[in-house]
Amino acid sequence: MFEKNGKDVYLIRHGETPWNFSRKIQGQKNPPLTKLGRRQAGAAAGYFSHLRRTDFKIFSSDLKRARETAKCFSEVLHKRILYEKGIREIALGDWEGMTPEEVDFHFDDGFKKWLLKPSRIIIPGAETIKDFQARVKKAWDRLLPKLHDGNTVIVTHGGVITALLAWWLKADFDTLILRLVIDNGSITHVRVSATRVIVMSINSVSHIHHFLER
């Protein structure tokens, strides 16, 4: 059972970027959305317009791909965007801008090793996963008292959503990051009460398929 009077929070992964398309590691680099990415963002925002809910708060990472996605929500929901630097994607240092194959070539099969146990890999210039998780938790703790009593949209990144889910579900981050898909433009819905966070759905993308098929 879950509390009927909880606050609904919707975690949105930003739309596609050119680096998503070309399989480049983004981290905290700042590519914009592609044309498809803007359509994904519009489809996600449009989903909320059909819910007939008008009371929202919108929070967003300050990276460009999240800001552009959040702008679609701002236009549809007629709410301003509040930015939170703490929900940026994990910083991946020297790997940023490379494909997995390039990482393996330049860093002694680094990506292949990462796929076995991400938290054990030290990437030059990057955040450790432990530090990243701590940053995301602190950001959530800052956002928690600011959540709307009804509905809150948080536009962020796949790694951030995975870190939050690992914390809420008491799951291993390495396992989730390797086995859980968080698609561009997807919606992950949680309900927040005074005592706990209930995960309602993860990586919902039906709105995108419906929009793109029209």
Catalytic residue among 16, 68, 84, 89: 89
Is 127 catalytic? The answer is no
Distances (CA, A) of 201 to 36, 71, 186, 204: 24, 24, 11, 7
Report yes or no: 58 and 36 within 8 Å, Cβ to Cβ.
no
Radius of gyration over alpha carbons of the chain, in Å? Answer: 17
DSSP 123-155: -TTBPPHHHHHHHHHHHHHHHGGGS-SSEEEEE
Is 89 catalytic? The answer is yes
- Report angle CA 38, 151, 160 to the nearest 5 degrees: 55
**Which residues are designated catalytic?**
14, 89
